[in-house]
Amino acid sequence: MKKLIVIVGILVVLGIIVLAMVAVAGGSYNHLVKLSQAVDTQWAQVQNVYQRRADLIPNLVSTVSGAANFEKSTLTEITTARASVGQVKIDPNTAPSDPAKLAAFEQAQGQMSSALSRLMVVVERYPDLKATEGFRDLQAQLEGTENRITVERQDFNTAVQSYNTAVKSFPAVFYAGMFGFSPKPYFTATAGAETPPKVQFDFNKPAPAAQ
């Protein structure tokens, strides 16, 4: 009889331990789901601001192309860069888990940023392009979009960091992979990335003297 009581007691203790482990694992799993969804939500925000910039490009090209003898190669470059961005097929609602896909997306967007910056430099050589109301609107929209891109990228990396930390922490590290929770890649930091490209249309100021 005593032996049976001991066995029952052991089984009860083991049952309690198993239930505790299940509860902890369940809570951890739900936490991973929440963090993963936060990453996807922030990724959608990143996509939104990049798409906003892409949507502004046709208006910008149309505005500056009205200038006499404007450098067509510059317009071709920015148009080609915008097209290249569209060729990168990536889910706008789910953050990529493949570093190569994120790298391709980031490279295309980087080319768009470079082309846009070069276009702004060329625009400054055309004094006839005064700061009209339409131009001022474009300036404000582009500056605001570039600022949002910087902020959303930083927020995305923060969300990914929280998620990746949870995936690699106890007890999730033992089962995260089995349930499809794998570390996600970050946006890479580039020199000057903390400062968004300056969009400047002030033609009343003289260009800085060459060093």
pLDDT value at 206 more than 80: no
Cα separation, 36 vs 94, in Å, equals 9
Q: What does pLDDT average to over the chain?
A: 80
DSSP state, 170?
Answer: T
**pLDDT at res. 193:** 42
Among the residues of 65-190, which ranges form H helices?
72-87, 99-123, 133-167
CA contacts within 13 A on the Cβ side of 102: 17
**pLDDT at res. 159:** 97
pLDDT value at 203 more than 50: no
Instruction: Please give the angle made by the CA atoms of 92, 85 and 91, to the nearest 5 degrees.
Output: 15
Peptide bond into 183 cis (omega under 30): no
**pLDDT at res. 207:** 39
Nearest residue to 103 via CA among 88, 125, 120, 82:
88
pLDDT value at 144 more than 70: yes
pLDDT digits (tens, 9 = 90+) for 89-129: 888 889 999 999 999 999 999 999 999 888 888 877 777 76
Torsion of CA 113, 117, 119, 121, to 10 degrees: -170
Q: Which CATH architecture has domain 32-179?
A: Up-down Bundle (1.20)
* Backbone torsions φ then ψ of 197, nearest 5 degrees: -55, 140
pLDDT value at 211 more than 50: no
Band of residue 12 on the pLDDT scale cut at 50, 70, 90: low
Question: Do 156 and 43 touch, CB atoms closer than 8 A?
Answer: yes
pLDDT value at 134 more than 80: no
**pLDDT at res. 53:** 95
Segment 193-205 mean pLDDT: 44
Instruction: Please give the angle made by the CA atoms of 19, 20 and 21, to the nearest 5 degrees.
Output: 90
Domain boundaries, the chain: 32-179
**pLDDT at res. 191:** 43
Segment 85-92 mean pLDDT: 88
Residue 199 burial (CB < 10 Å; 0-12/13-18/19+)? buried
